[in-house]
């Protein structure tokens, strides 16, 4: 058989991942204080809101890239970014007890996104193997 060319249509689970990342990014970009204070039940200071806006922009950029380049390689790059973010937030939680709850929430979110990305990459690998047989 010939080489398998990926379709331009994303799997449903990938569309859900892109949608969730987009919604989370928009929420952090537009109203970080409201979103995070509701989630954590505490007041969010100005530096944390600024960081959340930057993080929201990063999520939107990653959603756009994943939506346009939904190959296994690009998805795994996103996994690496999310895993790195989770690790740095875990270190921040350890170093800064005053930021622990916010940092651990960030770490958990980034870990969930990384795991979802690994799942998507696995689906594509299985799909690629199926189409090359």
Task: State pLDDT tens for residues 89-130.
Answer: 999 999 999 999 999 999 999 999 999 999 999 988 887 666
Domain contains 77: yes
The string of pLDDT tens digits covering residues 26-66 is: 999 999 999 999 988 889 999 999 999 999 999 999 999 98
pLDDT at 8 over 70: no
Q: Is 41 helix (H, G, I), strand (E, B) or coil?
A: coil
**Structural domain tally of the chain?**
1
Q: CA 27 → CA 18, 21, 34, 55, 68, distances in Å?
A: 14, 10, 9, 10, 22
The reply to whether 89 falls in a domain is yes
Residue 88: other Cβ atoms inside 10 A? 14
In a domain, 21, yes or no: yes
Between 28 and 131, the higher pLDDT residue: 28
Q: Is residue 95 part of a domain?
A: yes
The pLDDT confidence band at residue 79, using thresholds 50, 70 and 90, is very high
Tokens of 115: 């795991």
Question: Is pLDDT at 132 greater than 80 in this prediction?
Answer: no
More confident site: 8 or 103 = 103
Q: Is 112 contained in some domain?
A: yes
Residue 6 lies in a domain: no
Query: pTM above the 0.75 mark?
Result: yes
Provide the domain limits for residue 67.
12-132
The answer to whether residue 4 is domain-embedded is no
Residue 5 placed within a domain = no
Q: What is the pLDDT of residue 3?
A: 39
pLDDT value for 128? 67
């Amino acid at each position: 058989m010939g080489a398998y060319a990926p379709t331009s249509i994303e799997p449903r689970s990938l569309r859900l991942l892109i949608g969730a990342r987009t919604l989370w990014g928009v929420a952090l970009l537009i109203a970080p204080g409201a979103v995070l204070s509701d989630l954590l039940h505490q007041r969010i200071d100005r530096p944390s809101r600024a960081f959340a806006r930057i993080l929201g922009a990063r999520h939107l950029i990653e959603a756009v890239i994943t939506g346009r380049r939904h190959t296994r390689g690009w998805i795994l790059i996103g996994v690496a970014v999310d895993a790195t973010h989770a690790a740095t937030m875990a270190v921040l939680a350890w170093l800064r007890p005053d930021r622990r709850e916010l940092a651990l929430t960030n770490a958990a979110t980034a870990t969930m996104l990384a795991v979802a990305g690994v799942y998507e990459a696995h689906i594509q690998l299985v799909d690629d193997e199926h189409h090359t047989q």
